[in-house]
Structure 1
Amino acid sequence: MTALTRILSTTAFKLAAIYLTSFTALSVFLFIFISNNTDDLMNKQVVQTVDAEIQGLAEQYAQNGINGLVVGVERRVRSPNSNLYLILDYAGNFITGNIAYLPEKVLSESDGRIQVVTYTPLGLPETDENKARAIVRIFELPGNFKLLVGRDLEDQVHLKSLLGDALTLWLVGMIVLAGITWFFLNRRILKRIDNLSMSSRQIMEGDLAGRLDVTGNGDEFDRLASNLNVMLDRIEELMQGLKEVSDNIAHDLKTPLTRMRGRVEAALRQDMSADDGRKCLEDTLVETDELINTFNALLRIARVEAGSTGAQLKPLKLSDIVRDVCELYEPVAEDDGVEFSVQIEDEPVIDGDRELLAQALANLIENALKYGRPPQDTAKPLIKVVLSATKEQAILRVEDNGAGIAEADRERVCNRFVRLDGSRHAPGSGLGLSLIKAVVTLHQGELQLISAGSENDSGSKGQSGLCARVVLPRNKGQRGEGEGNEAWDKAQKKNATS
Structure 2
Amino acid sequence: MFRLPGFSARTIAVGYVTVSLLVLAMFAGPLWYTWKITVEGVRTELLQTDTERLSRLFASNGPGALSVAIEAQTSGTYQGVGRLMLFMAPNGVKLAGNLDGWPKGAPENTSPCAANIMVDGVPQRVEMIHTVLPGGYRLLVASNLNRFEQLEKLFVRGLLGCAAAVLLVAVLGALLFRRVMLRKVDSISQTTSAIMAGKLTQRLPAPHRGDELEMLTHTVNGMLDQIEHLVHSVQDVSNAIAHDLRTPLTELRARLEELSVTRPAEEETYQEIDAAINDVDRVMAIFNALLRLAEIDSGTRRGGFVPVDLARLAAEVTEFYLPVAELNDVGLTFAPQGMLHTVGDPLLLAQALGNLVENALKYAPAHSQIMIGARRCGELDIELTVADNGPGVPEAERARVVERFYRSDASRGTPGVGLGLALVSSVARLHGGVLRLEDNAPGLRAVLCLNVPRVAM
**Could you say whether these structures have the same fold, taking a TM-score greater than 0.5 normalized by the shorter chain as the test?**
yes
> Could you tell me how far 1:178 is from its partner in structure 2?
2.6
CA spacing shift, 1:300–1:142, aligned 2, 3 Å? same
How far apart are the structure 2 equivalents of 1:174 and 1:103? 51
Q: Please, what TM-score do these two structures have when normalized by structure 2?
A: 0.79
How far apart are the structure 1 equivalents of 2:86 and 2:94? 8
How far apart are the structure 1 equivalents of 2:54 and 2:399? 107
Matches within 5 A, 1:293-372: 293-305=285-297, 307-311=298-302, 320-337=309-326, 338-345=330-337, 356-369=348-361, 371-372=362-363
Matches within 5 A, 1:61-80: 66-67=63-64, 70=67
* Contact 1:312-1:353 within 8 A present in 2 as well: no
> Could you tell me how far 1:267 is from its partner in structure 2?
3.2
CA spacing shift, 1:82–1:17, aligned 2, 3 Å? same
> Could you tell me how far 1:62 is from its partner in structure 2?
6.6
| Equivalent residue, structure 1, for 2:224 | 232
* Contact 1:383-1:399 within 8 A present in 2 as well: yes
**What secondary structure, in the 3-state scheme, does the structure 2 residue paired with 1:403 have?**
coil
How far apart are the structure 2 equivalents of 1:382 and 1:18? 71
CA spacing shift, 1:207–1:405, aligned 2, 3 Å? same
How far apart are the structure 1 equivalents of 2:335 and 2:100? 114
Q: Which amino acid aligns with 2:302?
A: A
How far apart are the structure 1 equivalents of 2:209 and 2:346? 43
| Equivalent residue, structure 2, for 1:416 | 404
Q: Which amino acid aligns with 1:87?
A: F
* Contact 2:87-2:140 within 8 A present in 1 as well: yes
> Could you tell me how far 1:332 is from its partner in structure 2?
2.0
Alignment equivalent of 1:137, drawn from 129, 139, 159: 129
* Contact 2:387-2:446 within 8 A present in 1 as well: yes
How far apart are the structure 2 equivalents of 1:13 and 1:103? 61
| Equivalent residue, structure 1, for 2:258 | 266
| Equivalent residue, structure 2, for 1:14 | 11
* Contact 1:315-1:349 within 8 A present in 2 as well: no
Q: Which amino acid aligns with 1:403?
A: P
Q: Which amino acid aligns with 2:314?
A: V
Q: What is the Cα-based RMSD across aligned positions, in Å?
A: 4.1
| Equivalent residue, structure 2, for 1:452 | 440
How far apart are the structure 2 equivalents of 1:451 and 1:359? 23
Deviations 1:297-333 (A, max 9, x none): 123334444x44353698988xx33541342332422
Tell me if 1:27 matches 2:24. Answer: yes
Q: Which amino acid aligns with 2:96?
A: T
Q: Which amino acid aligns with 2:180?
A: R
| Equivalent residue, structure 1, for 2:78 | none
| Equivalent residue, structure 2, for 1:436 | 424
* Contact 1:365-1:398 within 8 A present in 2 as well: yes
How far apart are the structure 1 equivalents of 2:49 and 2:304? 85
| Equivalent residue, structure 2, for 1:157 | 149
> Could you tell me how far 1:36 is from its partner in structure 2?
4.2
CA spacing shift, 1:345–1:154, aligned 2, 3 Å? farther
Moved more, 68-77 or 399-408: 68-77
* Contact 2:386-2:445 within 8 A present in 1 as well: yes
**What secondary structure, in the 3-state scheme, does the structure 1 residue paired with 2:235 have?**
helix
How far apart are the structure 2 equivalents of 1:29 and 1:412? 66
| Equivalent residue, structure 2, for 1:465 | 443
Alignment equivalent of 1:404, drawn from 388, 392, 398: 392
How far apart are the structure 1 equivalents of 2:342 and 2:210? 34
Moved more, 263-272 or 251-260: 263-272
| Equivalent residue, structure 1, for 2:454 | 488
Q: Which amino acid aligns with 1:488?
A: R
CA spacing shift, 1:135–1:316, aligned 2, 3 Å? farther
How far apart are the structure 1 equivalents of 2:118 and 2:345? 94
> Could you tell me how far 1:149 is from its partner in structure 2?
1.9
Moved more, 154-163 or 408-417: 154-163
Tell me if 1:88 matches 2:88. Answer: yes
How far apart are the structure 1 equivalents of 2:160 and 2:376? 75
Structure 1 residues without counterparts, runs of 5 or longer:
1-8, 121-125, 454-463, 476-486
**What secondary structure, in the 3-state scheme, does the structure 2 residue paired with 1:115 have?**
strand
Q: Which amino acid aligns with 1:397?
A: T
| Equivalent residue, structure 2, for 1:181 | 173
Q: Please, what TM-score do these two structures have when normalized by structure 1?
A: 0.73
> Could you tell me how far 1:47 is from its partner in structure 2?
3.1
**What secondary structure, in the 3-state scheme, does the structure 1 residue paired with 2:182 have?**
helix
CA spacing shift, 1:149–1:469, aligned 2, 3 Å? same
> Could you tell me how far 1:207 is from its partner in structure 2?
0.7
How far apart are the structure 2 equivalents of 1:257 and 1:272? 21
How far apart are the structure 1 equivalents of 2:348 and 2:53? 101
Alignment equivalent of 2:203, drawn from 211, 216, 219: 211
How far apart are the structure 1 equivalents of 2:258 and 2:287? 26
How far apart are the structure 1 equivalents of 2:214 and 2:350? 41
* Contact 1:313-1:353 within 8 A present in 2 as well: yes
**What secondary structure, in the 3-state scheme, does the structure 1 residue paired with 2:333 have?**
strand
> Could you tell me how far 1:139 is from its partner in structure 2?
5.1
**What secondary structure, in the 3-state scheme, does the structure 2 residue paired with 1:414 have?**
coil
Instruction: Tell me the percent identity.
Output: 28
> Could you tell me how far 1:201 is from its partner in structure 2?
1.0
Q: Which amino acid aligns with 1:309?
A: T
* Contact 1:321-1:358 within 8 A present in 2 as well: no
* Contact 2:368-2:388 within 8 A present in 1 as well: no
How far apart are the structure 1 equivalents of 2:124 and 2:293? 93
How far apart are the structure 2 equivalents of 1:467 and 1:110? 111
Moved more, 182-191 or 134-143: 134-143
Structure 2 residues without counterparts, runs of 5 or longer:
1-5, 76-80
Q: Which amino acid aligns with 1:228?
A: V
> Could you tell me how far 1:431 is from its partner in structure 2?
0.7
> Could you tell me how far 1:339 is from its partner in structure 2?
2.1
